[in-house]
Structure 1
Amino acid sequence: MNLVITPYDPNDIPNEEEIPLPDPRFYEAVGGEEGFRKLIDDFYDRIVESDIAFFFPQEEEEIEKIKTHNGKYFAEISGGPKRYSEALGHVDQIKMHKPFSINEKHRDEWLGTWREVLEEHAKAIDPALVESYFRFLDQYSKLLVNRPRNARAFEDLAKA
Structure 2
Amino acid sequence: MNDDRKAAAKPANRRGAARLAAVQALYQMDIAEATLPMVIAEFEAHRLGREVDGDQYRQADPVFFRDIVSGVVRDQRDLDPQIHKALTPGWPLTRIDATLRAVLRSGAYELASRPDIPARVIITEYVDVARAFFDADAAGMVNAVLDTLARDRRSAEFLASEPT
TM-score by length of 1: 0.33
Could you say which structure has the higher helix fraction?
2
**Larger RCO (CA within 8 A; separation ≥ 6):** 1
